[in-house]
Structure 1
Amino acid sequence: MNLTAPLRVIIVEDMIAIRHDIEDFIKQQTGFIVIGTCGTVHDAIVLIHHTQPDLLLLDIGLPDGTGFDILEQLPAQMKVIFLTAHHEYAIRAIRYGAIDYLLKPLNKQELTEALQRVVVSKPLLQEQIAITLHSFRKNIEQGYIALRNRYYVQIVELNKIKYLKGDNGYTTFFLNDGKKVVTTKSLKDYEEFLPADSFLRTHQSYMVNELYIDRYLPKECILYLEDGAKIPVAVRKKEMLDSYFKKL
């Protein structure tokens, strides 16, 4: 007998047809119950305060503002899945905060997978929200990143990351205090939004923070970090690294 209460869901989407489609789909899923829908920032904030949902499906572009305006006013910790068209700065901000999102037009399989992830995920930390809002509002590179796996979210300063190692869809972050954080995203995911002028993709499985580079041996195709760590350099990345070091 499953005694786990279903997640109480609010859908915030200004396109009525999309809103109805999402509602109908979620009603067919076990473990979820739709307790309200709306299409504006104002109505969403009122509805959230009155009902205290567990999960928000949150459109970014709304008639009277954005989903980030709602995120800023959440009265308590809850789970969030953003719904967005291709919006570079919004997606970058969402990724920095390690918040789940789906691209429109919505795909039922991807929505199913997102709902499965959210069942085992934790509610958003205030730090995740702060990182996301700062990145979106200022439209600048963020100084912090939220690293998420199935068990926890770790907030890390970018300048404390020495290097990243990818392995079968997982990425391990090696930090300057000797700690490691394993995430459930691929190295390519992080390459797409970490600042390219600071994090160098040296190999299929490695990215390096330039702050920690000590030596580059082009003939051996190896980067040495300050702590002695050896980072391989792929042949196809040598030209990029040669150009990088010539500019120093």
Structure 2
Amino acid sequence: MIKLSIGNKIIEVKPERIIRVKGEGNYAVFFLIDGRTVLSARHLGHWETKLPGFILVHKGNLVNPAFITDMDTESVTIDGTVFPISRRRRKIVSQLIIKTDVADAIPA
């Protein structure tokens, strides 16, 4: 569980309920499966270390591989939204996706 603050309250979120985390300068925006977005005052690099199963596909997007619905050598798709994979991270991303068996779960 990770702790995120929404207004004056703190909520605990299971990592499997997080679709992705988007970097916004020194902040990070969490996109949750219930449709909520939560702004965190911590940067994306902080969350990359706290969410070890997630994949940094580009400098601004940390994705949960469980929600990847399609992929190719240059991008991953989550719920119809395409996220480019940076050139420097393509090999690492493809290895991580294969390692997490996401490639087997994607329909051909």
| TM-score, with structure 2 as normaliser | 0.83
Contact 1:150-1:184 within 8 A present in 2 as well:
no
Is 1:223 the equivalent of 2:80? no
The equivalent position to 2:55 in structure 1, one of 195, 200, 207, is 200
Contact 1:164-1:207 within 8 A present in 2 as well:
yes
**Which residue of structure 2 lines up, in the alignment, with residue 172 of structure 1?**
29
**Which residue of structure 2 lines up, in the alignment, with residue 212 of structure 1?**
67
**Which residue of structure 1 lines up, in the alignment, with residue 104 of structure 2?**
none
The structure with the largest helix share of the pair is 1
Cα distance in 2, alignment partners of residues 246 and 158 from structure 1: 20
Structure 1 residue 172, shift from structure 2 partner: 0.4
Gaps of 5+ in 2: 102-108
The structure with the largest strand share of the pair is 2
Q: Which structure: larger Rg? A: 1
Q: Where does 1:151-166 land on structure 2 (aligned, <5 Å)? A: 151-166=8-23
Structure 1 residue 174, shift from structure 2 partner: 0.3
**Which residue of structure 2 lines up, in the alignment, with residue 243 of structure 1?**
95
Tell me the percent identity: 27
Closer, same or farther in 2 for the Cα pair 1:192/1:164, shift >3 Å?
same
Contact 2:55-2:96 within 8 A present in 1 as well:
no
Root-mean-square deviation (CA, aligned residues, Å) is: 1.6
Aligned structure 1 segments of 4 or more residues deviating by more than 4 angstroms: none
Gaps of 5+ in 1: 1-143
State the aligned residue count: 100
Structure 1 residue 222, shift from structure 2 partner: 1.5
Q: Which has the higher contact order (CA 8 A, sep 6+)?
A: 2
Contact 1:162-1:176 within 8 A present in 2 as well:
yes
Contact 1:149-1:184 within 8 A present in 2 as well:
no
